[in-house]
Amino acid sequence: MTGAVTGRGRSLIVHATLIAAASIVLVPVAWVVAAGFRTQISLLIGEFFFTPVLFNFAEVLFSKTSDFLLNYRNSLIVGALSTAICLLAATLAAWSLYRMRWPAWVVHVFLAWALVFHMIPPVALAGAWFTMARLVSLDNTFLGLVLAHATLNLPMALWLMTVFVREVPRELEEAARIDGASTPVLLWKIVLPIIAPGLAATGVLTFVFSWNEFAVALNLTMKQTATVPVAIAKFAQDFEIQYTQMAASAALAMLPALVVLLVAQRYIVKGLTQGAVK
């Protein structure tokens, strides 16, 4: 009886801890979404009960002075292209590191350098990249921002893909080689189907990081190529901060990541847990 009570008490503590942790994440998100349905006065005076309005969303999406839909398109383009580059480069690099005859110290140094580079704050690179982009006429272009985001997220993608590629059985690759498969056929027919969950997990994380990136996008873009985070920041002006419209645009900015997570949820969980238990 005492054991059952103790087990029930532990279960309650665990559930209470999980609920508290979820609340820390979800309450600010819910507050931002709710703020998008408020008027500016209602938000500033701190009304708890309010009448929802759609004015902020209409202003963000359809106002003649708003470029939010253009910014949305820009973020989708940059996120999709930079994610594709990261997945391609990270998969090939991971396969090269663990399947070609590199000395062990080369693999360790390469991965260590990728980790160190990933720890550098993007804002520390923004100024140098802006100067370099201007020299080669890549400032205010999708290509310049795509390359910058791919560079920022490639170390993370590389580390994730090395885990998934390392778990591919060598016996399958050796059998394919015996059957006369070339390297491209081996990668396409054998390796990619096995690491597909890992590709999905890595792709989602890379896309979300690209979608949310602000410092580099602020430096490398102008009105025509600005992304969603840059557009949201512009609601904070010199003499006025449009809190409710900022909240509405932030709520809209959550949609792509939520859709991607919901669609690829099964593959993400499988990919992130792959290799944890043999």
d(CA 193, CA 141): 34
pLDDT of residue 12: 87
pLDDT score, position 149: 97
Question: What pLDDT is stored for residue 274 in this prediction?
Answer: 58
d(CA 258, CA 72): 15
Residue-level pLDDT at 5: 53
**65-273 topology per CATH:** MetI-like fold (1.10.3720)
Per-residue pLDDT of the chain (278 residues; tens, 9 = 90+): 555 556 677 888 888 999 999 999 899 999 999 999 999 999 988 888 888 999 999 999 998 888 999 999 999 999 999 999 999 999 999 999 988 888 889 999 999 999 999 999 999 999 999 999 999 999 999 999 999 999 999 999 999 999 899 888 888 888 888 888 888 888 888 888 889 888 988 999 999 999 999 999 999 999 899 999 999 998 888 788 899 999 999 999 999 888 888 877 776 666 556 555 44
Both tokens assigned to 243 = 């809190």
Q: Which residues pair with 241 in a beta bridge?
A: 236
Domain-by-domain residue ranges, the chain? 2-35, 65-273
Query: pLDDT at position 175, please?
Result: 87
The reported pLDDT for the residue numbered 273 is: 62
Give the pLDDT confidence score for residue 65 in this predicted structure: 85
Helix (H) or strand (E) holding 164: helix 142-166
DSSP label of 223: T
Distances (CA, A) of 83 to 106, 115, 156, 263: 26, 18, 11, 17
Give the separation between CA 225 and CA 218, rounded to whole angstroms: 10
pLDDT at 277: 47
Opening angle at CA 238, ends 235 and 242, nearest 5: 30
Q: Do residues 158 and 111 touch, judged by C-beta distance below 8 A?
A: yes
Distance CA 210, CA 22 (A): 24
Name the β-bridge partners of 236.
241
What predicted TM-score, i.e. pTM, was given to this entire model?
A: 0.87
CB 70 within 8 A of CB 225: no
Sign of CA dihedral 35, 36, 37, 39: positive
> How far is 29 from 228, CA to CA, in rounded Å?
17
Inter-helix orientation angle 104-119/142-166, to 10°: 130
Question: What pLDDT, on a 0 to 100 scale, did the predictor assign at position 278?
Answer: 45
- Measure Cα distances from 227 to 77, 131, 168 in Å: 10, 20, 37
